[in-house]
Structure 1
Amino acid sequence: MAALLEMMVGGGLFGGLFSFLVPLWASAVLLGLLVGWAWKPKWADMVVAGGGGPSLGEAVEKHLGIGFNSLPSLDSLKTLSQSCISWVSEERSEKGEGEAVACSPTPMERDQSVVNIDDFQYLRRLVEMTDGGPVWHQMMDRTLPTMSYQAWRRDPETGPPQYRSRTVYEDAAPELVRDFFWDDEFRGKWDDMLLHAATLEECRSSGTMIVHWIRKFPFFCSDREYTIGRRIWKSGGSYYCVTKGIAYPSLPRHNKPRRVDLYYSSWCIRAVESRRGDGQLTSCEVLLFHYEDMGIPWEIAKLGVRQGMWGCVKKIEPGFRAYQAARQAGGPLSRSAEMAQINTKVDEDYLRSMELIDPSESDVATVKKPWRENIPKFLIVGGAVALACSLDRGLLTKAVIFGVARRFAKLGRTVNQRATP
């Protein structure tokens, strides 16, 4: 019996199944084409007509009511990456920074993943605490007359420790705080760890920058080098400032300073009510999310951060007040502060609509998935039925065919269950 079953599986059964399934698949494809053509949109007829008819863009524009002339060109898409779509527009400053300036071909244009809309959405999930990461544990809660500070840490299963902090500056405008943290020329006056800062590339169309930093580390460690991509998005009254480490092959590596590849440090800056309780939004909240792999054991890094955190934070507040006084006195803007004023504006309605969509729980995944799993089973069993009915070779042959078909159907179901996360 085993030999008989082996011969049938290896020869006649597979040939019969395929002779039935191939015409069935071909019929399904033809049926899909016919149904799809019957339900085609009206603008498809205009496109197929050709000749003097409207172009594809004109036809879609007429059917959907969208103006293709308002969308960015292919060249601008290279510069603005994934953010230049219908719901995104560039916010220009009043000082003329926003005029169109052609950007030469750069890694920012060749590599669209430098700083893009995915980075903005990731930062937003961190701000809203919906990123699905571990629980944050509070480390610090300090208050000064014009500033309050709180800090948390969490330890993911893989990767370095991650830090979250909330700083509130009294009597501070979000736009000024945004410029302050972006201003590399002024940073050296309050950040004594910054040894070198230079702009490698910038694009004034999107505000994207690539900067090179060298930071001073304690005497037992070599200095650290960073190549950072950064960009600012604005949604409502909030500024989402993304800075992260990126690959920059044109800048050679050296043994010293040691380059840090994994680096993430991003802020959400927005106005909040003053602690005076007068209901006025005269204070500024800065939510910072930071992690990096500095090349030292993480437990030692956590100890160093805990010991030095408050000392570093205290230096920022007087630095900001000095920057605030200089700007109020009419001091000139630095180049990097000018770039901070070129923001990508994101519509709040779009963000709210995105919050209602959870790809992991979509109808496609939960409703249509059983149909996809049942189609192979249906085809195999149906093919076996057709084959058994077309062969007149006794009950044994038909029983073997049905048994093999059931075995394949169960095997397919098992594979699908194992592949489902």
Structure 2
Amino acid sequence: MSVLADLLAGVFREPTLAGVARELATLAAPLWLAVLVGLLIGWAWRPRWAAAVQQENPAPPALAHNTSAAAAGESSASASASAVVPRAKVASVAPVEDELPVNTADLMHLRRVVEEKDGGPAWIHMMERTLPTMRYQAWRRDPENGPPQYRSSTIFEDTSPDVVRDFFWDDEFRMKNTWDDMLLQHEILEQCTKTGTMVVRWVRKFPFFCSDREYIIGRRIWASGKTYYCVTKGVPRPSVPRSSKPRRVDLYYSSWCIRPVESRNGDGAMTACEVLLFHHEDMGIPWGIAKLGVQQGMWGCVKRIEPGLRAYEIARTTGEPLSKYAAMAHANTKFIADELISAEDNNDAGSTSNKALAEKPKHWTCNIPKVFLIGGAVALACTFDQGLLTKAVIFGTARRFAGPGRR
């Protein structure tokens, strides 16, 4: 430090301001020269920099072109709106799968969750209850980022998956029978009669100290034999204006796998029906308080389902007409489970190979530009015997460029 101080003192002892400026320029010249040479070497040896800059900062005409293309895509989506028709109009064109609010990717995710292959944390058992014609179990898990997630298994005796499917889809019966006494309002915003895809709006009642909650939900059913995968999730709809009351819930997922299972009578008959439910949502309540509320009130809500289902079975046997919601449950999408598993395995294999390729160690020649840049800067710094300050800056810059792993 004393040498550096003496050097600076000598500079400022110059009798004129021009002399001081000249000496400072002499000290700074090696630094600027090193930076210039480093940039030239880096540009010559790493042409990928230019490509990266071009990708991050596209020319204005290209941006305009992409914007036009996006607008054209939106127009195309609007032109095919007859496939997903607002306010219950009839579809006239075959829908595009990827444009539907609930698509095959949602089915594959639900299947992974059902088979406990989604990579999430382990489930923690919460409760188990039994009624004469119903068995219930519930689990919870807490992901690192996101609200608590719940999984439940409800087995109803002497009923069919078809009836249970319609029962959970029928919003009109939910309110008429009041087995779900939290539902205050419901309406269909969009529907696709070919695939059974719907977008519905719910308003649900919350305790007096909270405002009611509004949900914009996309939902759809897939069928593989007598097993039904029913996906319901929150979907964005900017066209539906928000309000302070009821408060919009954006993060919402509640999906079922409905399948026949063996009766507990022990006769081997598949006369019972299991409903595997997976649910999580961000209601705008602290997650710790929400967990406590769910744990305290879960069974009180669940035990109302079984008498509601039996009332629904009676209504069906007496010939009561299907509601428009239950009718849409019949427009489910058929699929073959083995084919979906094969496609999912191929996707997993492709993503694994891509990940392995991305993690492949780089060849030593990839570090040549960095070596030249650092070496050139060090060589230039050592060439000038009076550039002590410049040497310090350049050596510090070189060390920083090399990264903390090389220190």
The TM-score, its normalising length taken from structure 2, stands at 0.68
Q: Distance in 2 between matches of 1:168 and 1:336?
A: 23
* 1:121 and 2:111 correspond: no
Q: 1:146 to 1:376 in 2, by over 3 A?
A: same
**Aligned 1:71-82 pairs, distance under 5 A:** none
Matched, 1:137 2:127: no
Verify the 8 A CA contact 2:221 2:333 in the aligned structure 1: yes
Q: 1:151 aligns with which of 134, 138, 141?
A: 138
Residues 142-167 of structure 1: per-residue CA shift (max 9 Å, x gap):
11111100001111122211111000
Equivalent position of 2:53 in the other structure: none
Q: Where do residues 20-419 of structure 1 align in structure 2 (5 Å cutoff)?
A: 101-102=91-92, 112=99, 114-188=101-175, 189=177, 190-353=179-342, 354-355=344-345, 357-358=347-348, 362-366=352-356, 370=360, 376=366
Q: Which amino acid aligns with 2:249?
A: V
Question: Shift in Å at residue 243 of structure 1?
Answer: 0.7
1:330 is aligned with what amino acid?
A: G
User: Post-superposition shift, 1:139?
Assistant: 0.9
Change over 3 Å in CA distance of 1:375–1:115 after alignment to 2: farther
- Post-superposition shift, 1:258? 1.7
Shift of 1:9: 6.9
Give SS of 1:269's match.
Answer: strand
* 1:176-197, Cα deviation, whole Å (9 max, x unpaired): 1111100011111121111111
3-state SS in 2 of match to 1:167:
strand
Change (3 A) 1:21 1:124: closer
Q: CA offset at residue 16 of structure 1?
A: 8.0
Report the RMSD for the aligned CA atoms in angstroms: 4.1
User: Which whole-Å CA distance do the structure 1 matches of 2:41 and 2:290 have between them?
Assistant: 67
What is the alpha-carbon distance in structure 2 between the residues aligned to residue 141 and residue 18 of structure 1? Answer: 67
* Residues 351 and 309 of structure 1: CA distance in aligned 2, closer, same or farther (over 3 Å): same
Output the CA distance in 2 between the equivalents of 1:377 and 1:121.
Answer: 42
Question: How far apart in 2 are the matches of 1:74 and 1:115?
Answer: 15
Aligned residue type for 2:109? Y
Cα-to-partner distance string for 1:161-218 (whole Å, 9 max, x where unaligned): 1111000111111111111100011111121111111111111122111111111122
Please give the alpha-carbon distance, in whole angstroms, between the structure 2 residues aligned to 1:330 and 1:312: 28
CA contact (8 A) 2:83 2:91 kept: no
Q: Give the aligned residue type for 1:289.
A: F
Structure-2 residue corresponding to 1:34: none
Q: Counterpart of 1:390?
A: none
Contact 1:122/1:131 (<8 A) preserved: yes
In our comparison, the structure showing a higher alpha carbon Rg is: 2
User: 1:254 corresponds to which letter in structure 2?
Assistant: S
Aligned residues: 328
**Contact 1:225–1:259 (CA<8 Å) still a contact in 2?**
yes
- TM-score by length of structure 1 reads 0.65
Which structure would you say has the larger RCO, counting Cα contacts within 8 Å and 6 or more residues apart?
A: 2
Where 2:107 maps in the other structure, the secondary structure is helix
- C-alpha contact (below 8 Å) 1:274/1:282 kept by paired residues: yes
Distance in 2, matches of 1:185 and 1:235, equals 26
5+ residue gaps, structure 2, are 1-27, 48-75, 85-89, 372-397
Deviation at 1:355, TM superposition (A): 3.5
Asked whether the equivalents of residues 234 and 240 of structure 1 are also in contact (C-alpha less than 8 Å), the reply is yes
